[in-house]
């Protein structure tokens, strides 16, 4: 039960003289267990209520975060005072006024789990599968969210379980980072499987192999392609296009990848923690196809950016900056084993991090592989490669996609991978650099 009365707050904003407003109320219960060295480090629990108020007055846009109901009146007064002192935002076209007919699944409920028991299960299953030591995090989140505007109101529950484990053996490591939305009931056997999978790279041929920089065929695990797609998804936001910072700016309805590749944003899939029934301006979310069989089909929009582009909102507000909710690369037909067997020579990369761009406009980046980087020849792993980077551009990685596995994983990891569902992706002639 929240201490914030949204009807009353909306009425106050209207009486004050604001001409547009959106309220987003989060009531969240979150538990976390952190572990390392095969034992628990810390149990954390949060129980918080947060109200975000967005308001505009003749396109002068202000927003605030309120946690204490006692400070609500003073916050609204400050919003009003400040909105009289700032320039207008000509890009802001108002909150979506269209009455929403229906929202996605609003009957989901948070689930209770014994996270300390799950952490122990993760650790033990990894150790039984060959790991010498482990580190990780388990989360259980329940968010009750209400978004209210002058025109619409949407309430729903999201969250779920997240399990991250990194397994080590000598200088080798493997990692799994999975998420389960509220429509999935997670049990110990599912957690144990994650622990086992995190140890799989430790049991491959780990003979050190040195490679020279150049172009390589690369099988990117769900974590690697998940990282690259997460880090580049803003280029598919129309805000980036308008900012002159998108490599896809002039590519609408043109080929941007090989025909094997289809990318969707699917916030209505409640098997993942990225589930959302509405966006920040109470527009009903929907499954949006961004790239279909290699062709760029559309950008992510809020109501404001959709007006600039003379199209419809896609339900991706961020009112000012639209963004993705839960990305998916649609699966292919072959198994990962078949893709591997067909590889003459190349690399299998299990994870990466620290993706950074030297050129946002052309999406020129590098990222650092970790947790199992294997040299593959004639379909077999020959040994372990270290000290390399993927140094290329996002357009080049997408254009050179040659195969996509039928297996997918729900992946989400720290700040590196947003909640998404990703397959293995083979991309050919990818730039690999190394340290000298």
Partner 1 sequence: MDGDLIHKILDYASSKSAYAEVRYMGLSVNQLGFRNGEFQGLSFSSEQGYAIRVLNRSISMGFSNSSDWNKVKGVVDRAIEKSNFEGKNQIYQGKAIKDSWKVNVRKKVEDFSIEDKVSIIKENDSVMESSGASVRVNSLTDKRIKQMYVNSIGSEIQGDISRINYFYLVGVIEDGEFEQSVEQYGSSSGFEYIDGLSLPERIEQDINDLHESAAAPRINPGKFDIIVGPEISGIVAHESCGHPTEYDRINGREGALAGESFLTGRKLPMKIGSPAVNVVDDPSMEGSFGYYTYDDEGIPSRKRYLYKNGETNEFILNRESAAHLGTESNAGGRSASWDMEPLARMSTTYIEPGEYKFDELFAGIRRGVYINSFTEWNIDDIRFNEKYVGKEAYFITNGDISGRVRRPVIETNTIKFYSSVDAVANDLEFNAGTCGKGDPMQGVDVWMGGPHMRLREVYLQ
Footprint (CB under 8 A) of partner 1, residues 246-305: none
Q: Which residue lies nearer to partner 1 by CB, 51 or 290? A: 51
The tokens for 171 are 């200088």
Question: CB of residue 353 vs partner 1: minimum separation in angstroms?
Answer: 6
Residue (of 130, 171, 175) closest to 349 by Cα position: 175
Give burial (CB, 10 Å; 0-12/13-18/19+) of 322.
Answer: buried
Asked whether position 127 contacts partner 1 by CB under 8 A, the answer is no
Least distance CB 324 / partner 1 (angstroms)? 18
Smallest distance from partner 1 to CB 398, Å: 19
Contact between 436 and partner 1 by CB under 8 A: the answer reads yes
Q: How far apart are CA 50 and CA 55, in angstroms?
A: 16
Could you say which residues in the range 82-111 bind partner 1, by CB under 8 A?
A: 82-83, 85-92
Minimum distance, C-beta of residue 90 to partner 1, in the bound complex (Å): 6
* Nearer to partner 1 (CB atom), residue 163 or residue 263: 163
CB of 287 to partner 1, least distance (A): 28
> What DSSP string describes 126-148?
HHHTT-SEEEEEEEEEEEEEEEE
Q: Pick from 45, 77, 203, 335 the residue near partner 1 by CB under 8 A.
A: 45
Of 223 and 261, CB closest to partner 1: 223
Stretch that binds partner 1, among 81-89, 146-154, 221-229, 324-332 (CB under 8 A): 81-89
Tell whether residue 362 is a contact of partner 1 (CB under 8 A). yes
Within a 10 A sphere around the Cβ of 128, how many other Cβ atoms? 12
Instruction: Label the pairing between strands 133-149 and 345-359.
Output: unpaired
Contact status: 42 vs partner 1 (CB under 8 A): yes
Judge whether 272 and 249 are in contact, CB under 8 Å.
no
Q: What is the 3-state secondary structure (H, E, C) of 51-104?
A: EEEEEEECCEEEEEEECCHHHHHHHHHHHHHHHCCCCCCCCCCCCCCCCCCCCC
Determine the size of the site formed for partner 1 (CB under 8 A): 79
Does residue 133 touch partner 1 according to CB under 8 A? Answer: yes
Q: Which residue do the tokens 């080798």 mark?
A: 172
Check residue 61 for interaction with partner 1 (CB under 8 A).
yes
Q: Is there binding between residue 435 and partner 1 (CB under 8 A)?
A: yes
d(CA 260, CA 165): 31
Position 202 contacts partner 1 (CB under 8 A) = no
Beta strands at 214-220 and 345-359: parallel, antiparallel or unpaired: parallel
Of 80, 82, 48, nearest in space to 66 by CA: 48
Q: Which stretch binds partner 1 (CB under 8 A): 35-43, 184-192, 283-291, 331-339?
A: 35-43
DSSP-derived letter for residue 285 is: P
Taking contact as CB under 8 A, which single stretch among the options 14-22, 185-193, 359-367, 419-427 is the one that binds partner 1?
A: 359-367
Tokens of 249: 């700016």
Contact region with partner 1 (CB under 8 A), list: 11-19, 58-66, 142-150, 335-343: 58-66
Decide if residue 188 touches partner 1 (CB under 8 A): no
Closest CA to 370 of 227, 162, 190, 214: 227
Selected from 22, 126, 135, 376, the binder of partner 1 by CB under 8 A is 135
In angstroms, rounded to a whole number, what is the distance separating the alpha carbons of residues 91 and 93?
6
Q: Is 165 in the site for partner 1 (CB under 8 A)?
A: yes
CA distances from 409 to 188, 199, 295, 424 (A): 18, 16, 24, 9
**Which range in 200-208, 240-248, 267-275, 307-315 contacts partner 1 by CB under 8 A?**
240-248
- Minimum distance of partner 1 from residue 282's CB (angstroms): 19
211 binds partner 1 (CB under 8 A): no
In sequence order, what E strands does 105-213 have? 133-149, 153-169, 172-180
User: Shortest Cβ distance from residue 379 to partner 1 (Å)?
Assistant: 28
Stretch that binds partner 1, among 70-78, 148-156, 265-273, 325-333 (CB under 8 A): 70-78
Nearer to partner 1, 17 or 387 (CB): 387
184 sits near partner 1 (criterion: CB under 8 A): no
| Pick from 372, 276, 371, 270: nearest CA to 325 | 276
245 lies in the site for partner 1, by CB under 8 A = yes
Shortest distance, position 120 Cβ to partner 1, whole Å? 9
């Amino acid at each position: 039960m929240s201490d914030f009365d949204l009807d009353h707050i909306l009425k106050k904003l209207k009486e004050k003289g604001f001409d547009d407003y959106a309220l987003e109320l989060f009531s969240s219960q979150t538990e976390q267990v952190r572990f390392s060295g095969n034992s628990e480090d810390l149990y954390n629990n949060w129980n918080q209520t947060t109200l975000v108020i967005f308001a505009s007055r003749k396109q002068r846009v202000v927003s605030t975060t309120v946690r204490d109901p006692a400070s609500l009146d003073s916050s609204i007064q400050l919003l009003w005072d400040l909105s009289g002192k700032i320039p207008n935002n000509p890009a802001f076209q108002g909150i979506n006024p269209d009455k929403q007919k229906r929202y996605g699944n609003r009957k989901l409920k948070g689930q209770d789990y014994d996270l300390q028991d799950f952490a122990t299960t993760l650790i033990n299953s990894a150790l039984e599968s060959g790991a010498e030591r482990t580190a990780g995090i388990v989360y259980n989140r329940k968010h009750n969210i209400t978004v209210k505007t002058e025109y619409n109101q949407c309430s729903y529950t999201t969250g779920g379980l997240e399990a991250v484990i990194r397994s080590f053996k000598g200088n080798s490591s493997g990692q799994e980072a999975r998420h389960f939305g509220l429509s999935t009931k997670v049990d110990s056997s599912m957690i144990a499987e994650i622990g086992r999978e995190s140890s799989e790279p430790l049991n491959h041929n780990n003979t050190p192999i040195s490679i020279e920089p150049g172009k390589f065929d690369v099988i990117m695990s769900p974590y690697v392609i998940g990282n690259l797609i997460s880090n580049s998804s803003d280029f598919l936001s129309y805000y980036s296009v308008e900012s002159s910072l998108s490599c896809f700016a002039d590519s609408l309805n043109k080929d941007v990848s090989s025909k094997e590749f289809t990318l969707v944003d699917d916030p209505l899939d409640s098997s993942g923690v990225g589930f959302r029934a509405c966006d920040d301006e109470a527009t009903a979310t929907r499954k949006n196809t961004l790239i279909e069989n290699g062709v760029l089909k559309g950008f992510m929009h809020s109501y404001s950016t959709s007006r600039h582009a003379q199209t419809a909102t896609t339900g991706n507000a961020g009112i000012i900056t639209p963004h993705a909710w839960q990305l998916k690369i649609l699966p292919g037909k072959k198994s990962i084993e078949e893709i591997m067997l067909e590889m003459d020579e190349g690399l299998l990369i299990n994870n990466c991090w620290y993706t950074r761009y030297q050129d946002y406009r052309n999406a020129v980046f590098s990222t650092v592989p970790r947790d199992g980087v294997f040299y593959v020849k004639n379909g077999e792993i020959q040994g372990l490669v270290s000290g390399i980077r993927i140094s290329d551009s996002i357009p080049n990685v997408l254009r050179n996609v040659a195969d996509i596995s039928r297996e997918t994983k729900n992946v989400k990891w720290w700040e590196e991978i947003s909640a998404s569902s990703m397959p293995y992706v083979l991309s050919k002639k990818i730039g690999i650099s190394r340290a000298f």
